[in-house]
Amino acid sequence: MVAAISVQNVSKLYNKVPVVDNLSIDIEEGEIFGLLGPNGAGKSTTIRMMITLTQPTQGKIQVAGYDIDKHREQVKRNIGVVLQQISIDGELTVWENMEFHGRMHHIPSNKRQSLIDQWLDYMSLSDRKDTLAKTLSGGMKRRLQIARALLHQPQILVLDEPTVGLDPQNRRRLWEVIRDLNRQGMTILLTTHYMEEVEFLCEDSGTRKQGRIGIMDNGKLIELGTLSDFRRKYGEGLVIKQVEDHLDYKFFPTLDQANLYLETLVDKTGVMSRASNLEDIFVEMTGHRLD
Ligand SMILES: Nc1ncnc2c1ncn2[C@@H]1O[C@H](COP(=O)(O)OP(=O)(O)OP(=O)(O)O)[C@@H](O)[C@H]1O
């Protein structure tokens, strides 16, 4: 099966410094994939290379089987993109923003009108058709960006930090949209520095496969797998001990084993056990917190 996105030994150097360093990832068709890492890890640069906005210094990237160097148009046709910066035209109405994108992609008029209606409805923006985009709330602007990215019916949706700057309610709403699109079969790649975002989006929802998480730090992919894989590898149980001004983390294969260990301690002051989460595992992998 052709990978939806295939990144093979890709590096990007700025001023001779690698900001993406020999990265290889295959994102499968229909998969939801979260690229997690701190600011400056190289996530946006990776996305920018995939969507042909910047060229890799070395390595090979294919999107829907098309090489990003040789087949830029096919790559653009197969991929919908929501960049971190709000990129809609504030002086145009919601409808005009959609119309402009549809024309850029040469979607015939009849089909264009019905697709605009369909996606504005899906994103709950139908009643805002004639509103100037600059007057929309942050959450609405983001939904418009997504509606626009989906208009040319791409197979793959790429979102760079989709919920930055959104309040918890709007963030949750976008997560539901992203999960629903994935349930309908769309391949989703998103970057984020929010642990809870990948935990929510890449969890096993019952109706679709658990998504994978790639952890990036200093331009390198340092871990790749599902949250269950990580918890199995690093430990599902944790004992945390306050030592002077910092916390000591000790991982155990299961929570039961962590609890048993806690029981054996004579002095339990400042010690607790609990199930490990992605944040604990991230700190264990990288030696530092995400924020
Ligand atoms: N055009 C550029 N010229 C020089 N350096 C750049 C350029 N673009 C990015 N960088 C540097 O590359 C590194 C990775 O940046 P990148 O934006 O890819 O990280 P990120 O993980 O997406 O973080 P953020 O979420 O903050 O964007 C940073 O140190 C950044 O300063």
Over residues 265-278, the pLDDT tens digits come to: 998 888 999 999 99
Residue 207 has what pLDDT?
61
- In whole angstroms, give the CA distance from residue 275 to residue 267: 21
Number of other residues whose CB lies within 10 A of the CB of residue 226: 16
Q: Is the pLDDT of residue 291 over 70?
A: no
Averaged pLDDT for residues 19-46: 94
Residue 38 has what pLDDT?
86
Number of other residues whose CB lies within 10 A of the CB of residue 65: 13
- Cα 244 from chain centre: 37
Exposed/middle/buried for residue 25 (C-beta within 10 Å: 0-12, 13-18, 19+): buried
Q: Are 98 and 119 in contact (CB under 8 A)?
A: yes
Residue nearest to atom 29 of ligand 1 (CA): 40
Pull the structure tokens for residue 12.
């990007």
Which CATH number is 5-231 given? 3.40.50.300
Q: Where in the chain is the domain with CATH 3.40.50.300?
A: 5-231
Residue nearest to atom 28 of ligand 1 (CA): 40
Nearest ligand 1 atom to the CA of 37 is: 21
Q: Are 97 and 120 in contact (CB under 8 A)?
A: no
How far is the centre of ligand 1, averaged over its atoms, from the C-alpha of 42 (Å)?
Answer: 6
Q: Are 8 and 24 in contact (CB under 8 A)?
A: yes
Residue nearest to atom 3 of ligand 1 (CA): 14
- The percentage of the chain sitting over the pLDDT mark of 70, rounded to a whole number, equals 97
Residue 287 has what pLDDT?
78
Pull the structure tokens for residue 209.
């496969």
Q: In degrees to the nearest 10, what's the CA dihedral of 182, 183, 184, 189?
A: 10
Q: Is the pLDDT of residue 202 over 70?
A: yes
Angle at 121 between CA 116 and CA 125, to 5 degrees: 90
pLDDT tens per residue, range 102-129: 999 999 999 999 999 999 999 999 999 9
How far is the centre of ligand 1, averaged over its atoms, from the C-alpha of 135 (Å)?
Answer: 30
Residue nearest to atom 4 of ligand 1 (CA): 14
Q: What are residue 119's DSSP bridge partners?
A: none
Exposed/middle/buried for residue 258 (C-beta within 10 Å: 0-12, 13-18, 19+): buried
pLDDT tens per residue, range 135-176: 999 999 999 999 999 999 999 999 999 998 888 998 998 999
How far is the centre of ligand 1, averaged over its atoms, from the C-alpha of 127 (Å)?
Answer: 37
Q: How confident is the model at residue 98 (pLDDT cuts 50, 70, 90)?
A: very high
Q: Which residue has the tokens 């290889």?
A: 24
Q: Are 50 and 78 in contact (CB under 8 A)?
A: no
Judge if pTM exceeds 0.95. Answer: no
Residue to probe by mutation, ligand 1, list 17, 43, 197, 198, most atoms within 8 Å of CB: 43
Q: How confident is the model at residue 205 (pLDDT cuts 50, 70, 90)?
A: low
Q: How confident is the model at residue 49 (pLDDT cuts 50, 70, 90)?
A: very high
CB of 37 sitting under 6 A from ligand 1 = yes
Averaged pLDDT for residues 207-222: 89
Q: For the CA atoms of the chain, what is the radius of gyration?
A: 21
